Structure 1
């Protein structure tokens, strides 16, 4: 399906790494610090890809329009920043996938909505990312996904045309951004998926239930 691909770009949280335990712990600490009962990780996991908006919404029923949202968001950020990789793991099959990409002469990189404040130290701390060709974050360009600009910036940095690139992500905004950037799109159904309809309705070129499935769509 993507036999002409030379570069594979990935979303970060929910696609390459499972950061839900650290994100959930950061916001759950806010609850316990206020004398509220702790909530289980499964409560937070579906919205782990939505950052502070998703976490504060699940922990406190708070929307970005709430007057206290900016202060609560910064508290969440500080908590998360202090333990970026304490519980975060690489999804099963991802390390092998990246090794196989290299063996086939394919390059890879990361395009995430996570801010540079967190993405840069997190990826530096995890050996997995030592072979990544680029890291474009939510505040690297003037726009975040679902705008295509982050993907366009990644392709500029890697010197690749849209026809030679695919993007893999676990949220509908990833597929929207990929389609707008004219790259091949892959929905990672093993990820967080957000709160909307499932991947079947996103319009991706391919949906995978494990990282290994992506290899079947790429050149040998």
Structure 2
């Protein structure tokens, strides 16, 4: 599709998004799983805002904050399986699209610009979450954390999305709320946009990520694309 002359990112043929913290606020359901684990151990629930910054890190982030256990700890793997079971049982209770995302996706659809999802979340969770959000049938491509042998920040998930869309990486732009997203885009030679409204992880200062662009709200993507 021809881009407007005023586009900051000219020649873009597809927009790829991270899921958690970029398209959707899934932190409440992730936090719910973590807090049920705390409750089982006689611990009080943590506020969602305490867990929100690490939501993009999934089980690793949630278990680290909620229970103080890291992947290198011997107890981590059993806790991870428990967390994933808890999350799978209630992953679409409070998750919702961020404000502005429905309008953004409608504009992309209306402009004939394909969009897709590239996430580190496994497909057994990604599929149901996208179904619950009404996005599963709309996304032109969905690459989950187990679609390729690698996860972000490796570039392979983004390169696979481009392969399925039959476009060069430079013809797509990747939007994400975690440093790993920007690192993956850079490694794939793809323009990157940091979603400053997202979770931001442990490296929360987006100005240090070397993203090509930063947006404080999803609808600011329209300006970059000249739509």
- TM-score scaled to structure 2, two decimals? 0.95
Structure 2 residue aligned with 1:62, among 69, 75, 85? Answer: 69
Alignment partner, residue 159 of structure 1 = 166
> Are the equivalent residues in 2 in contact too, given 1:95–1:128 (CA < 8 A)?
no
Cα-to-partner distance string for 1:82-121 (whole Å, 9 max, x where unaligned)? 0111010110000100011112221000000001121112
Structure 1 runs (4+) deviating above 2 angstroms are none
- Report the secondary structure of 1:57's partner residue: helix
Tell me if the contact between 1:104 and 1:219 (Cα under 8 Å) persists in the aligned partners: no
1:27 aligns with 2:34: yes
C-alpha deviation, 1:123, in angstroms: 1.2
Alpha-carbon distance in 2 for matches of 1:197, 1:213: 20
Structure 1: gaps (5+ residues): none
Q: 1:73 aligns with which of 75, 80, 91?
A: 80
Is 1:185 equivalent to 2:192 in the alignment?
A: yes
Map of 1:133-144 to 2, 5 A cutoff?
133-144=140-151
1:68 is displaced (CA, Å) by 1.1
2-structure distance, mates of 1:138, 1:91: 21
After TM superposition, give the deviation of residue 147 of structure 1 in Å. Answer: 0.3
1:50 and 2:50 matched? no
- Aligned residue among 207, 217, 223 for 1:200: 207
Query: Which digits, 9 at most, give the CA deviation of each residue in 1:96-154, with x for residues without a partner?
Result: 00011112221000000001121112212221342100110111101000000000000
Match of 1:86 in 2: 93
Q: CA separation in 2, counterparts of 1:146 and 1:86?
A: 29
Distance 1:37 1:102 in 2: 44
The answer as to 2:133 corresponding to 1:126 is yes
- Structure 2: distance between partners of 1:104 and 1:170: 24
Structure 1 counterpart SS, 2:15? strand
Question: Hey, what does 2:23 align to over in structure 1?
Answer: 16
| CA distance, structure 1, for counterparts of residue 133 and residue 60 of structure 2 | 25
Secondary structure of the corresponding residue to residue 131 of structure 1? coil
User: Is 1:108–1:133's contact at 8 Å kept on the other side of the alignment?
Assistant: yes
